[in-house]
Amino acid sequence: MPSQSDFSHLDAAATTLTNILRNESISHIFIGGYATSLLGGGRVTEDIDLIVDKNCRSLLLQYPKITESEDKRLVYHHRGTKVHIDLEVMGTAAWAVNPRTTRVHTVAPADYPRRQLNTMVPILHPSILLLTKLLPWKEADQATRARIDFSGLPGIPKGKLMRLLGRLYRAEQRTRPYLSLTLSSDEIRDALTADETK
């Protein structure tokens, strides 16, 4: 499990981005691996993904700690470390939800006192955050009906994942079609059984 300091460059980038966008009245939400880390996920991501309600790329490039890489990605510089920033403007992809109207979960600095957040950070609500992962999987490989490879998730016991998937299946009816696309009928049965026996 990474230490809280492993996220310091990401927290600094998120704090700066949030302050800039909030000052400019640009609605935004963080998604992806960084948002997951604020929910207790232990994987340290290499970039920050966020959805904004309007294109603010040129605005962000006016700030000294934000530059553009050769491949045209935004980069935040923090104490010799680079954090890539992937902006998705609302409406440009099917999953890029409207940050003004979608369910948001706000993470406060007090929620993670050992992290280096200095402001309230809006992230996509956890129930929807999962769907942003499931929908691209569905679209990318609908013909072959891609399945979740539980052996490819090191460090997370399959039983724990099954309980969480079972709980999600029961609690969020909208997720059922997507879970059915990514799990076999036996895996759905196992997930529901695991949730009952927790």
Q: 3-state secondary structure string, the chain? A: CCCHHHHHHHHHHHHHHHHHHHHCCCCEEEEHHHHHHCCCCCCCCCEEEEEECCCCHHHHCCCCCEEECCCCCEEEEECCEEEEEEEEECCCCCCCCCCCCCCEEEECHHHCCCCCCCCCEEEECHHHHHHHHHHHHHHHCCCCCCCCCHHHCCCCCHHHHHHHHHHHHHHCHHHHHHHHHHCCHHHHHHHHHHHHHC
Confirm whether 132 is domain-assigned.
no
Residue 129 CA to residue 70 CA, distance in Å, equals 30
Can you give the pLDDT of all 198 residues of the chain as single tens digits? 445 568 899 999 999 999 999 999 999 999 888 988 888 777 778 899 998 989 999 999 999 999 999 999 999 999 999 999 999 888 766 556 666 666 788 888 888 888 888 899 999 888 777 766 665 554 544 444 445 555 555 555 666 777 777 888 887 777 777 777 667 788 888 888 876 765
The predicted pLDDT at position 179 comes to 75
* Domain assignment of residue 116, yes or no: yes
Is residue 131 domain-resident? no
Q: Give a yes or no: residue 136 inside a domain.
A: no
Query: Radius of gyration of the chain from Cα atoms?
Result: 18
In this prediction, residue 133 carries a pLDDT of 61
The pLDDT of residue 6 is 81
94/185 same-domain check = no
pTM of the predicted model, to two decimals? Answer: 0.65
Is 102 part of any domain?
yes
pLDDT value, residue 13: 96
- Residue 159 covered by a domain: yes
Q: Of 125, 159, 179, which closes a domain?
A: 125
Task: Evaluate whether 90 touches 77 at the Cβ level (below 8 Å).
Answer: no
Q: Which domain holds residue 38?
A: 4-125
Kindly state whether residues 106 and 52 are assigned to the same domain.
yes
